[in-house]
Structure 1
Amino acid sequence: MSAKPDPSSETTCPSAPSEAETANQLPKLTPAEFRAYNRLAEHMDYFHAHFRSTWDQLYTACCNNKRPSGVSIRQFLNMGSEFISHLNTHHSIEEQYVFPMLASKMPEFRRGVHLLNQHKEIHKGMDRLEEFLEACRTGERELRLQEMKSVLDSFGKVLWEHLDDEVRTLGAENMRRYWTLEEMKRLRM
């Protein structure tokens, strides 16, 4: 029979330091070190800027209830389909190659964690958008921009949060917590 431990004699386990506490404990990065550690974030943000730009064009058209000047219905539908295709390809590459490599040291990129859960939510919306665009393309339904806006609204918030979260997670101060400069040179994206 075991005795209940005396609470006055218990020691508490230290909690893991927060990102801010870790950054304060680490030496200040030189500009060259910052660039090396921030390289993946900058690379990711380059792709994300394209997604943001295309989203803005689609969403602005829906909000204004008017396609961009000089853009036919067919071109507009293709713009939406290309957005889905490019984002799907981007996520596939991340999930098959980039995330597993990063997950070897970074819990943020492991299955069942925030970034991959965001992918799942985004893909639900992308599937709805793809169905909507295809129905418009085949003539099953008429292109109504207010309806398309509702579809975009179903996943826009999580998409924009995800674009920011990924870049922030790949930022220099977070990357230096897990990787050495030599390892950073070998990381490919």
Structure 2
Amino acid sequence: MVPSTGPFEWASTPFTMIATPKHVQNLSDTKTDEYVEAASSMAVFHNLLLRSLNTIYLQAPHVKDGDKKAFVGYAYCWYDAIDAHHTGEEQEFFPWIEEAAGEKGIMDANVEQHKIFEKGIKEYGSYLRSLKGKEKTFSGDHMRSIINSFGPPLHQHLSDEIPSLLALRKYGDKIHLNELWDKQSIGKFTLHSAATRIPFYLCNLDRTFEDGLWKDFPEVPKLAKDFMGNWVARLNGGYWKFGACTMTGVPKELYAKGK
């Protein structure tokens, strides 16, 4: 059961989650093709981005001065995550798909959508960077206004990208979508991602989503997940209290709440 957060509905608003094709098609106990698998994995990751953006939007006006430095750091993790995701798509994932299909331009519509909200996301990152050393001047209302400028078209894009991946099924076995998804450099561990990006993912990955269908997502050894959640996350420990979930993926009450 999702915990109550006063006037808020946990981290499920204002941007709603995206149903995965695997769940929609009731394929939880069925072997599926790689198009359904890859599109579903993409949806789970997109939901992580939306859920974490919700935590920032909902908590921003209620963060106390003593927590603002940590919150700014946490909020910047979202910028780092979305920037890495879309850079990875444009430089690796989409070109690889087009190369495998033998057809240029089939992913152009997705890239064009990136341009619609690019300016707003850059403003988001620039604002947070401008607060370095003066985090107490952070304005939750200003943060919300920036998110309002790009949030709706971003949500539309993250939703639209799922059927666009499913539509690639027409290329049959020419495209090994799961392999292309897995080999993106965004998914490889670096010192930076180990200290910030990975813990940010963990505390916003709801493992109860769709009746627990994604409780083992991603397929990483439990020992590695425990190490990241219990030890590496301590490097920026003040950040993760703002997450939607515990490090084990259990939904939790939002830390900064209104009255």
After TM superposition, the score normalised by the length of structure 2 is 0.51
Deviations 1:33-82 (A, max 9, x none): x43331210121222122111101011124xx213x9x821121011111
Alignment of 1:79-158 (within 5 A): 79-104=74-99, 105=101, 107-110=105-108, 114-139=109-134, 142-158=137-153
Q: Which residue of 2 aligns with 1:8?
A: none
C-alpha distance 101-149 of structure 1, shift in aligned 2 (>3 A): same
In structure 2, runs of 5+ residues without a counterpart are 1-29, 182-259
Taking structure 1 as reference, are residues 76 and 128 closer, same or farther at Cα in structure 2, changes over 3 Å only? same
Does the CA contact (< 8 Å) of 2:38 and 2:178 recur in 1? no
Which position in structure 2 is the counterpart of 1:52?
A: 50
After TM superposition, give the deviation of residue 186 of structure 1 in Å.
7.2
1:126 partner letter = I
Q: How does 1:73-84 map to 2 (within 5 A)?
A: 73-84=68-79
* TM-aligned CA distance change 1:135 to 1:84, over 3 Å: same
Q: Contact (CA 8 Å) 1:135, 1:141: kept in 2 or not?
A: no
Q: Deviations over 1:112-139 (max 9, x none)?
A: xx31122123321121011211223332
Q: How many residues align?
A: 150
Query: Which protein, 1 or 2, shows the higher relative CO under an 8 Å CA cutoff with sep ≥ 6?
Result: 1
Give the number of the structure whose alpha-carbon radius of gyration is greater.
1
The answer to whether structure 1 residue 43 and structure 2 residue 41 are counterparts is yes
Tell me the distance in 2 between the aligned counterparts of 1:61 and 1:108. 39
Q: Structure 2: how far apart are the matches of 1:186 and 1:46?
A: 14
Aligned counterparts of 1:185 and 1:120: Cα–Cα separation in 2: 24
Identify the range of structure 1 (132-141 vs 161-170) with the bigger mean alpha-carbon deviation.
Answer: 132-141
Deviation, structure 1 residue 187: 4.3
Report the residue type matching 1:97 in the other structure: E
Residue of structure 1 equivalent to 2:62: 66
CA distance in 2, matches of 1:148, 1:163: 21
Quick one: percent identity of the two aligned structures? 23
- Range with greater deviation from structure 2 (93-102 or 119-128): 119-128
- For 1:133, give the aligned amino acid: L
1:5 is matched with none
Q: CA deviation at 1:183?
A: 3.8
The structure carrying a bigger helix percent of its residues is 1
One-letter amino acid of the structure 2 residue matched with residue 61 of structure 1: Q
Give me the whole-angstrom Cα distance separating, in 1, the residues matched to 2:82 and 2:160.
16
In structure 2, C-alpha distance between the alignment counterparts of 1:88 and 1:185, rounded to whole Å: 21
Q: Tell me which of 163, 178, 181 is aligned to 2:171.
A: 178
Gap runs ≥5 in structure 1: 1-30
Root-mean-square deviation over aligned CA pairs: 2.8
Alignment match, 2:161: 166
- Show the 5 A alignment for 1:7-22: none
CA distance in 2, matches of 1:79, 1:131: 15
